[in-house]
Amino acid sequence: MAATKSRKKLNIRPLHDKIIVRRDEAETQTASGIFLPESSTDQPKTGLIEAVGDGALNTDTGERVPLELKTGDRVIFSSYSGTEVKIDGEELLIMTESDVLAVLEG
């Protein structure tokens, strides 16, 4: 799995059930040492959660339902999920918690 950039404080706060994910960097070399051109690399479907919202609103009770995900979780998400944004020169994804397929443990 590719290493990610060092974490720094973001100037963005996700709302409700949204999360901010820093996508892992694409592999530029195969396990056997072959370098891949940028045009042939797939966007990774894994990343690190940088920020989470305060939870979805339960319309029956009016209370917030907290998210299961937390800052620092490494996650796998669906291919076309999220909205790409550029904040302070960094490309990040804003997506809902339901776009996350799994949390990578360990």
Q: How confident is the model at residue 12 (pLDDT cuts 50, 70, 90)?
A: confident
The model's pLDDT over 49-68, given as tens digits with 9 standing for 90+, comes to 999 999 998 999 989 999 99
Indicate the SS3 state at residue 40.
helix
| H-run or E-run covering 50 | strand 46-52
Range name among 36-50, 51-65, 72-86 with the lowest pLDDT average:
36-50
Domains of the chain: residue spans and CATH? 18-27+35-104 (2.30.33.40)
pTM over 0.85: no
Q: Among 20, 21, 22, 26, which residue's Cα sits nearest to residue 1? A: 26
Stretch 89-106: mean pLDDT: 92
Q: How confident is the model at residue 84 (pLDDT cuts 50, 70, 90)?
A: very high
Considering the chain, what is the average pLDDT of its residues?
83
